[in-house]
Amino acid sequence: MTLRRSVIVGCGHYLPQRVLSNAELAKMVDTSDEWIVERTGIHNRHIAAEGENTSHLATKAAEMALDRAGLKPSDIDLIVLATATPDYTFPSTATQVQAALGITHGAAFDLQAVCSGFVYALTTADKFLQSGSHKRALVIGAETFSRILDWDDRGTCVLFGDGAGAVVLEAQEGKGDLTDRGILSTHLRSDGRHVEKLYVDGGPSSTKTTGLLRMEGKEVFRYAVNYLAEIIEEAFAATGLTAADVDWFVPHQANRRIIEATARKLSIDPAKVVVTVQNHGNTSAASIPLALSTAYGDGRIKQGDVVLMEAMGGGFTWGSALIRW
């Protein structure tokens, strides 16, 4: 029996030019390069220039993904953009990207699941493609978290950065077994009771302001490893694949210690773990496609490889996706 699969046919990323190092941060708040590297693995983060908005970063990442796929913007009939830092309260950032790419057909919308945004967006686009309603989707994660950071709070401002990543998904007929290219399994969860552990203290409806990010880092860390291990076990149980079948583990890039603890818990070989957090910090919804694009670009991820993704973030939200590249 054949089955329609969503195959990743291109990926791209973009990081703003301005790099902010740990040493520079140590001049702004009471911190040090040693503390940040030891606790998080982060060395640098990128900061969007004034006037450089989330949609601009997203458009550059999308252009790179289209170029690598050998496709034109007009080949795309769906854009799902994950962001917690949109250009405007409305319209959606996705429609701004659509316009910047010159696309005037199909649909574009934003999706809000904070750091899990890319896994949520990938899952959503996959359902559209599987249904046959759309043929080719741009799935984008793009953020300008520098705009919602409290630059006096050393507990959060050292962790986050700006960036964007994108993939092109194309509906293709598969055989319906695990040798198919494309998305094999996706798993999403949320639990809204944890709002106070990670949130932004403003919004159009509550305060009429944008607000700043607040986080109880230790608490988030504690939940992250367990929730991530659970949601990956779910993906293994649904497919019958195991850690040994995974060619590349591409986790949300929040903290090197969370990534390593999760990989250890699941017995994933450290050599298969893609880590880019050192270069850009936590870029929320952008981090997985940024890491995918980096590992594809340097020749690690190849056609046919099994790639495991996971993320956990504000809400809490969390999720996993197993794909064959």
Q: Is 282 a catalytic residue?
A: yes
Smallest gap from residue 274 Cβ to ligand UT7 (A): 16
Residue 289 backbone dihedrals phi, psi, to 5 degrees: -65, -30
- Output the six-digit token pair for 230: 């659970």
* CB closer to ligand UT7, 7 vs 42: 42
Span of 89-97, 187-195, 253-261, 288-296 interacting with ligand UT7 by CB under 6 A: 253-261
282 lines the binding site for ligand UT7 (CB under 6 A): yes
255 lines the binding site for ligand UT7 (CB under 6 A): yes
117 lines the binding site for ligand UT7 (CB under 6 A): no
CA 303 to chain centre: 21
The site string for ligand UT7 over 130-159 (x = CB under 6 A, - otherwise) reads: ------------------------xx--x-
C-alpha to C-alpha distance for 290 and 141, rounded to whole angstroms: 9
Beta bridge partners of 34: none
Between the CA atoms of 82, 95, 74 and 69, what dihedral angle is there, to the nearest 10 degrees?
-20
35 lines the binding site for ligand UT7 (CB under 6 A): yes
Span of 1-9, 101-109, 250-258, 261-269 interacting with ligand UT7 by CB under 6 A: 250-258
Indicate the residue whose CB is closest to ligand UT7.
217
- The sheet that has 182-190: what strands, in order across it? 182-190, 317-324, 306-313, 248-251
Q: Closest Cα to residue 4, out of 183, 179, 138? A: 183
Give 263-274 as a 3 state SS string.
Answer: HHHCCCCHHHEC
- Tokens 């496709």 sit at which residue? 71
- Tell me which residues in 187-246 interact with ligand UT7 (CB under 6 A): 198, 217-218, 220-221, 224
Q: Is 252 a catalytic residue?
A: yes
Member of 141, 161, 163, 313 binding ligand UT7 (CB under 6 A): 313
Member of 4, 33, 39, 226 binding ligand UT7 (CB under 6 A): 39
C-alpha to C-alpha distance for 155 and 88, rounded to whole angstroms: 27
* Per-position b or e across 194-207, b if 16+ CB within 10 A of its CB: beebbbbeeeeeee
Cite the active site residues. Answer: 115, 252, 282
> Which residues of the chain form contacts with ligand UT7 (CB under 6 A)?
31, 35, 39-40, 115, 154-155, 158, 198, 217-218, 220-221, 224, 254-255, 258, 282, 312-313
